[in-house]
Amino acid sequence: MLNEILGATARSEDIGTRTAAGDAPARPGWTAPAKPASGDPVADLREAILAKLAYAIGKTPETARERDWFAATALALRDRIVDACMDGRSTSIPNKRVYYLSLEFLIGRLLSDAMNNLGLVDTTRRALRDLGIELGDVEAAEPDAALGNGGLGRLAACFMESMASLSIPAIGYGIRYDHGLFKQSLEDGWQKEAPETWLAEGNPWEFVRPEATYTIGFGGHVTMSAISDGVIRRHWHPAETVRAVAHDVPVVGWRGKHVNTLRLWKAEANSPLELAQFNGGDHVGAVAARSKVEAISRVLYPSDSSESGQELRLRQEYFFTSASLQDLVSRHVAERGDLRSLPDHAAIQLNDTHPAIAVPELMRILLEDHGLAWEDAWHITTHTLSYTNHTLLPEALETWPVELMERLLPRHMQIIYLINWMHLEEQGRHGRADAAQLASVSLIDEANGKRVRMGHLAFLGARRVNGVSALHTDLMRSTVFKDLHALDTDKIVNKTNGITFRRWFHNCNPELTKLAVEVVGERVLDDPEALLGLADYAADSAFQARYAAMRTSRKEALAKVVAENSGIVVDPSALFDTQIKRIHEYKRQLLNVIETVALYQAIKAEPHKDWTPRVKIFGGKAAPSYVQAKLIIKLACDVAKLVNSDPDIAGRLKVVFLPNYRVSLAEAIIPGSDLSEQISTAGMEASGTGNMKLALNGALTVGTLDGANIEIRDHVGADNIFIFGLDAAGVQKRAAEPDYAARAIAASPRLSAALDFIEAGGFSPEERGRFQPIVDDLRHNDRYLLTVDFDDYWRVQREIDAAWIDKASWWKKAILNTARMAWFSSDRSMREYADDIWRVKVG
């Protein structure tokens, strides 16, 4: 890993230096250049930061802005990360590496991660304080690296951190988008999107690696030639090419024991401008081609579990997949010589189908660039790749039109056809020639104008295919992949998601971490299972008081964030009820909003009753083209406006929609939350990870039996979670009944009254019909069975109101949640992947 961090990139010229296959050549050693050291860590870091400020940023302490201090601090810490590569580890080549391919890495800020994992939080705080600078201000000056939409991208970031912490040699591969996920603002309750500009002032964490540049082709045609033994070879002649340039971000693991690399590709044109054209006076035209090519890494697609992509999206997918495979193949050749041993030394994980083009691309590289026979290439491919599925929603299963694939990737389309032909032939040989069954396992969906099914492609090319929670994996086997599963029943395995405790516990909630360390000892920082020791104190009133005090202080901090971001004043003694995640109909924010409306009506009807004070906190972005999701945000904001200002409510119900939900905002909201809303339609949320972050921090879950909620219930205990609604089988059954929504509404006076009020313009007097599309959909369609689950959701919410009053019982449940969430550490997920899927040694 060291040489990777330091820029030694295997390249094809190195092939000549290889030793016998399987026998890795030794790399030259490296020693850190001597640095002046006073023996005082605070003084040393302070001087290092000052030196960076002067020599790397060109500023004096007097002229430095917070952002400059951040860059200087990050650069000083980056040096320590490079040094950490040295300590206690050899510079030899690891026997096997994991390559994690993901179109998204939703990283957030890196400074607190780096400081915490290097054990330098206090040292940095004191070094900066010596200089009259507050660490908190410096941390706040770091822009979030938002190279992802939501759960899928955040999972990739958690996995990278965990692999580094477990010393699993790994390289993450993705795209270095100029612009990450859009910035969300609310204008009169309507979502507005603005471009995100995290790179505007550079990125102090990254190393640019111009020497690791690969050429990526698009379009063109394929020719054939016969080679001596009569075998026909094909050659792809792309019409256009673009260069992928590596940018490396070091990922330091817990206690600085191991450092991995996140390698992000930037698209660059072959030549910056057409000089002849420029000299001819066409100054704009001379750079137009460059601008088109470089659009590939310009911006993250802001869609999440929805809508099919555009051509540029396919270009992004192929661009980063091809660059990554070329990189890892040339590294393997340089280190090991023979590509036949690739499966022994490389495990490639495809995060969703976005890199599924890896299947034909690896085949192409092996066949064309390295002259392997088809059978050998297929063996290598299917023993190196594995695929993680993230959704079963039909609209989110990726397919590409054959016509587009033929135009953009003609050679890959040929390979896909050949894979499919052999796959379908084999079915015939096994006597499975039933037309419907063949159509269901084919790589080509013929029903919708001929499209390539990327999930099927990834399935066939993978050694293992995994779901991300027990329920989701079962549903994979019984629904979308049913027929493919029948052909190879060992292929699908479950790997329930996890979260890194370093970010979602230690860094975001130092007070709770301190409490845990005091009670169960330091080892809790290294072994989350030690958290179980907290369970012994769950009913201890002295410990409960300390736990409650921790929560109060986090809620006061959150109340400040709420006031700053929304202008709404909330009372930290109220129940803080949180739903933070992408806005999507299947996640059912609308169920929560309509329950809020019903609660508002109930308080209005009986204003003198003893209502449990609640603050409903919402956060989340809607895909810019997702009209219904944006209307749900507007409804939440309009409900907030009326409810928050109604004197009858007297502050007992407050509604807040916090704009621009992102990792750093999540870190502020989660420790201050009492209740975690995980209310998706059962069978639709593959896993969820927000549910884990909140439960770990002691929020009680109100949820359906969906995704990882089921496993959370199994761990925390049914008494310590609030479950409601239909389960996945119940949803399937009910959805098949005619008029289920109309009947559910007719059976629920409370739901009817809430819908009538919305429909009558109760929250939009200036535009009565504003929310008609929402009400109409619920009355006549309701694909997400909100109406069916409504009454049970209302029931469980009133149960929660009552539970909140009994504080001793509430805190006991909360403490048991924290104590019993250890299993949901992404360290556990990564160990399982390492053992079952990658077969790579941990540590």
Catalytic residues: 390, 581-582, 587, 689, 693
In the chain, what is the straight-line distance between the N-terminal and C-terminal CA atoms, in Å? 13
CB-based burial of residue 766 (10 Å sphere; 0-12 exposed, 13-18 middle, 19+ buried)? exposed
What is the CA angle 23-27-31, rounded to 5?
Answer: 150
Between residues 52 and 503, which has the closer beta carbon with respect to ligand PLP?
Answer: 503
Between residues 419 and 684, which has the closer beta carbon with respect to ligand PLP?
Answer: 684
Between residues 150 and 572, which has the closer beta carbon with respect to ligand PLP?
Answer: 150
- Nearest CA to 4 among 133, 114, 92? 92
Residue pair 509/554 in contact (Cβ under 8 Å)? The answer is yes
190 three-class SS? strand
**Dist CA 377 CA 148 (whole Å):** 32
To ligand PLP, the closest distance from the beta carbon of 391 in angstroms equals 12
Between residues 222 and 668, which has the closer beta carbon with respect to ligand PLP?
Answer: 668
100 three-class SS? strand
Between residues 337 and 688, which has the closer beta carbon with respect to ligand PLP?
Answer: 688
**Dist CA 573 CA 791 (whole Å):** 27
- Nearest CA to 462 among 612, 590, 320, 362? 362
To ligand PLP, the closest distance from the beta carbon of 679 in angstroms equals 11
Sites of contact with ligand PLP (CB under 6 A): 150-151, 154, 581, 662-663, 666, 688-690, 693
- Nearest CA to 838 among 466, 528, 469? 466
- Nearest CA to 639 among 764, 526, 553? 764
Residues in contact with 421: Cβ distance below 8 Å, sequence separation at least 6, in sequence order: none
- Nearest CA to 748 among 697, 707, 786, 694? 786
Residue pair 149/181 in contact (Cβ under 8 Å)? The answer is yes
Q: Which helix (H) or strand (E) holds 618?
A: strand 614-619
To ligand PLP, the closest distance from the beta carbon of 297 in angstroms equals 22
To ligand PLP, the closest distance from the beta carbon of 158 in angstroms equals 9
Between residues 467 and 690, which has the closer beta carbon with respect to ligand PLP?
Answer: 690
Going by DSSP bridges, is the β-strand pair 97-101/170-175 parallel, antiparallel, or unpaired? parallel
To ligand PLP, the closest distance from the beta carbon of 104 in angstroms equals 11
To ligand PLP, the closest distance from the beta carbon of 383 in angstroms equals 32
CA 233 to chain centre: 40
86 three-class SS? coil
C-beta atoms surrounding 571 within 10 Å = 13
Q: Which helix (H) or strand (E) holds 444?
A: strand 444-445
Between residues 204 and 688, which has the closer beta carbon with respect to ligand PLP?
Answer: 688
Between residues 154 and 506, which has the closer beta carbon with respect to ligand PLP?
Answer: 154
Look up residue 247 and give its two tokens.
């940018």
Which residue's Cβ has the minimum distance to ligand PLP? 690
To ligand PLP, the closest distance from the beta carbon of 580 in angstroms equals 7
To ligand PLP, the closest distance from the beta carbon of 380 in angstroms equals 35
Q: What are phi and psi of 621, to 5 degrees?
A: -105, 150
Reported residue count of the chain is 843
To ligand PLP, the closest distance from the beta carbon of 688 in angstroms equals 4
Sign of the torsion formed by the C-alpha atoms of 477, 478, 480 and 482: positive
Between residues 410 and 467, which has the closer beta carbon with respect to ligand PLP?
Answer: 467
CB-based burial of residue 187 (10 Å sphere; 0-12 exposed, 13-18 middle, 19+ buried)? exposed
Look up residue 840 and give its two tokens.
């790579």
